[in-house]
Structure 1
Amino acid sequence: MLNEKVAIITGASRGIGAATAALFAKHGAKVVVNYANNVSAAEEVVTSIRENGGQAIWVQADVRNEDDMSSLVDQTISHFGKVDILVNNAAINFAMKSFSDMEWDEFRLKLEEEMKAAFISTKSVLPMMKEQKYGKLVYISSGLSHQPLPGFIAHGTAKAAMNSFVRYLAQELGPYNITANTVAPGMVDTDATKHTPAEEKEKTAMFTPLGRIANPEDVARAALFFASDQSAFMTGTYAPVSGGMEMNS
């Protein structure tokens, strides 16, 4: 499905990113596992991919830093020869507060860092993708960008900005045969939700038509679809991966 394609996955040392890296490699991609701090987790992901016959390297980079991302792309090209796919997945921390309790600087920080990560990561891969007249850009958003929940105003607003950014990319980059699509998970069972009370997860599962919350592989499979040529004529798409929780968006 991704035979010989080269994929950079940001924030790929755990959770959705790690599951995406493993799945892409299983389907024939050469994978670059990007991580910010946790080198041992990134090594584990790469080792597991290699043990299963796949090809992967790990590269440290802060996705908000131009020099870091430029170096990551250079290392990818020197190792694998090209870049075909970018999965913009790295998680950006945010203040979990109501609007009433939030200061502008807390709110601004999430918006700025989220967009900076998407902006710089995309800029870094575009020269190669434009040159080869081929590219797949996949952005991991959140259902909270459409469906507000208490405490998530900074996160949801930042992801909504990214959703719009992706549509503009899709429009501008279409002539280069580069697609840009958004995958929007609902609640996912990862490290990020390990402190979410079990009752809350159960309640979410109860209100989900498919009767459970997502696991990282559910999200990875949607990313695989948009990274593959199965989605060749789809761009600017917002795809909820929420078990039916987000039907009206």
Structure 2
Amino acid sequence: MTGVNPLSLAGRRAVITGGSRGIGAAIATLFAEAGAEIAICHLNDASGAEALSATFSAMGKSLPVMECDVADETAVEALARWTDEVLGPVDILVNCAGIGGAEKPFGEVSVGDWDRMLGVNLRGVFLVTKRYFPGMVEREYGRIVNIASQLAYKGAPGLAPYVAAKAGVVGFTRALSYEGAPHNVMINGIAPGPVETPMLAGHSDAWLAMKKGQLPVGRFGKPDEIAPTALLLASEAGGAFYCGQTLSPNGGDVML
């Protein structure tokens, strides 16, 4: 492989859900720098999408953008038809769309709270993957990266719905990898620690201080520190022998 960049995405097409801000935007930018064609979706974040589009324009690249609620099966089908038109067959899927929220004692968690959290963070991963996975299998190539959380392993008081959803993402990643790997469709995940994104804004100051104090590195991560892990898993050579793994750039919050 002398002279070949194992992390190149040249000629590859990638869809990134939740790609307008935070970790999703950092991944989209890095993937574009690595040579991939990118399309993203977002929900209620037109300003973030516009800002990322401007970044892409400055790079001399276009960025197709669509609004999509990944928990809605009809919306996901529309997203997939749209990417078929604007991008073509998709080689790489990053399931990054997600929601968080303030901590809430379990006794105060409503059925609506539970359903919405799992709807976006777990059902959404299922729906989007279900639409793109068969084409990857047929073409005998694909990379799927699911964004989970270190809380899937560690748990956290007041965050039962979120933790349950992210633990489901880890389990889904492991299970589907058995079906994808024989067709060169490698499915893996990332379980970041606390990262400086809008999602952290939903937590109390006390929770944020407590969380930061638990981290051996003494600080929260940045989106740009998570994106390289996604690039590794999404690349043709770099991600070829990762199967059903969930990598954990988390500042030492969980050491597996």
State TM-score, norm by structure 1. 0.91
Residue 41 of structure 1: SS of its match in structure 2?
A: helix
2:241 to 222, 233, 238: 233
Equivalent residues, number: 248
For residue 185 of structure 1, what is the amino acid of its counterpart?
P
The Cα shift of 1:174 comes to: 1.3
Cα contact 1:28–1:54 (8 A) shared by 2: no
1:243 to 245, 251, 256: 251
| Alignment match, 2:123 | 116
In structure 2, list runs of 5 or more residues that go unmatched.
Answer: 1-7
State TM-score, norm by structure 2. 0.88
For residue 23 of structure 2, what is the amino acid of its counterpart?
I
- Aligned-pair RMSD on alpha carbons? 2.0
Residue 154 of structure 2: SS of its match in structure 1?
A: coil
Residue 166 (structure 1) aligned with residue 170 (structure 2): no
For residue 90 of structure 2, what is the amino acid of its counterpart?
V
Q: Which has the higher contact order (CA 8 A, sep 6+)?
A: 2
| Alignment match, 1:178 | 185
For residue 99 of structure 1, what is the amino acid of its counterpart?
F
Residue 15 (structure 1) aligned with residue 22 (structure 2): yes
Residue 229 of structure 2: SS of its match in structure 1?
A: helix
Matches within 5 A, 1:47-62: 47-62=54-69
The Cα shift of 1:73 comes to: 2.1
Give a deviation string over 1:124-175, Cα, whole Å, max 9, x none: 1123212211111101101111112221111001111111111111011111
| Alignment match, 2:160 | 153
Greater mean deviation of Cα atoms: 43-52 or 7-16: 43-52
In 1, Cα distance between equivalents of 2:223 and 2:171: 24
2:79 to 72, 76, 85: 72
The Cα shift of 1:205 comes to: 3.9
Cα contact 2:41–2:66 (8 A) shared by 1: yes
In 2, Cα distance between equivalents of 1:71 and 1:222: 29
Greater mean deviation of Cα atoms: 86-95 or 160-169: 86-95
In 2, Cα distance between equivalents of 1:66 and 1:232: 30
